[in-house]
Amino acid sequence: MNYKNYIVRLFFRILLLVAAILTLGYYIYAKNHALIVLSIFVLLYLLANTYTFVKRRFVAMDDFFEAVKYRDFSRWFPEDRGPKDIRFLYTGFNEINRTIKEINSQNEAQYVYLQKILEMVDIGIISYNLETGDVLWSNDSFRDTLDFPSFKNIRFVEKRKPELFNTIFETYHREPNSISIAVQNEKIKILISDTIFQVNDDAFKLIVVQNIDDTLNKNESEAWKKLLSVMTHEIMNSIAPISSLADTLQRNVQLALEHPNEDHLDLEDVHAGLKTIKNRGEGLLKFAKTYRSLSKVTHLNLQKTMVSELFKNIQLLMEPSIKAKNIKVDFMINTPRLELSIDTHLIEQVLINLILNAIDACKNRPEAYIKIQASQTPNRTTMIKVYDNGAGIPQDIMESIFIPFFTSKATGSGIGLSLCKQIMLLHKGKILVNSKENEGTVFSLVF
């Protein structure tokens, strides 16, 4: 609307100028000297007025463009005085300035936010002008990794450490490259990569470095902690029932020694108990050796094993622990003379883990019950199932229970079930679980 008003007012002034020129021509023709002089004054006034009318708009625009040229968006144009069309123009200029200031403020906030993020990362980053060497930006991690103070130009590094300068700044690393450099009289290993980018007419180089010595040492330390946790967990799982069985045998022997006439020592029971302890000890030793390189195992010590013999050893080993907790346990074999080709020691370890989990699930449950059942399907798939009527597994963690080091127990290490799964995979089998909260759980070993 203001634009149309400006055109109308300009057109009106042009009409007045045309009328004044025609009037002046008429008076010249009529040779009326007095009116000629008056017409000339009127014409000059109209010309000055039209010039001022047009000029003030261009002056306002020129002022605004000058401010834009020097990026001065803080200038405020008066909106409450002057001609109406200029006030409207100033309002538009001020709105543009406010918008640009908001955009600049947002960009500045984003830049500060990005800068803070890059400052916090433990990866060294530097960007500099390829021609002048002036540093565009670098973070503390870069300077700390390479033991540099703050500097504004990379020639600072060239003068003090020319060899390091050539390695870092002069050599191109298009792909991430692991190199060793000397820092504080010692060798460290870093991962370095770089890229070149263009901003207007200037070329910049961006270099990223990471001290992988620290990362490797940290990962190695964490791996050792986890390994010790796993080994401790598995060793304790085996030692606890061995200790309980040994205690039972010792008590029977002591009673027989103190009361030979009343308490007769069953040598077969003692022999069977000692044999079980010996076998589990060997199994524990085998487990320790196997776990040490479990991820590299390609060959198992497979042998034909009667499931009844496997169950007998597990029952003899675990029975004292289970009876002490008042839990009823049954071992069942649906298929007579069922046989498996397995690494006995490792499968024993799996069953011990599952039974101990079942015992824990049945804790404080009335009429607690555990059943270990073996059967063979018509297609000759052998399955060993461990049932319990315990607390069950919550559905929201069901998919996570086989993840290494995941645990829902306050004192658990989260490696028992993941190890069971790994052992079953080594046997080209699998482990399945089905559970309902407050009803019970069944783990199935499928061979």
pTM of structure: 0.40
In angstroms, the CA 204 to CA 201 distance is: 10
Per-residue pLDDT tens digits for 140-157? 888 888 888 888 998 888
* Least confident range of 92-96, 195-199, 368-372: 92-96
Q: Which of 183, 422, 392, 129 is nearest to 300 (CA)?
A: 422
pLDDT tens, residue by residue, 256-290: 777 777 766 677 777 777 777 777 777 677 666 65
CA angle in degrees (0–180, nearest 5) for 157-213-165: 15
Side-chain-side CA neighbours of 233 within 13 Å: the count stands at 23
* pLDDT band for position 296 (cuts 50, 70, 90): very low
Mean pLDDT of the chain: 79
Structure tokens at 308: 């009844």
Tokens 């995979």: give the residue. 425
- Predicted local distance difference test score (pLDDT) of residue 286: 64
- The pLDDT of 317-337, averaged and rounded, is 84
Q: What is d(CA 343, CA 282) in angstroms, rounded to the nearest whole number?
A: 13
Query: How far is the C-alpha of 2 from the C-alpha of 34, rounded, in Å?
Result: 40
pLDDT: is 361 or 224 the higher one?
A: 361
CB 388 within 8 A of CB 441: yes
- Determine contact, residues 68/35, Cβ cutoff 8 Å: no
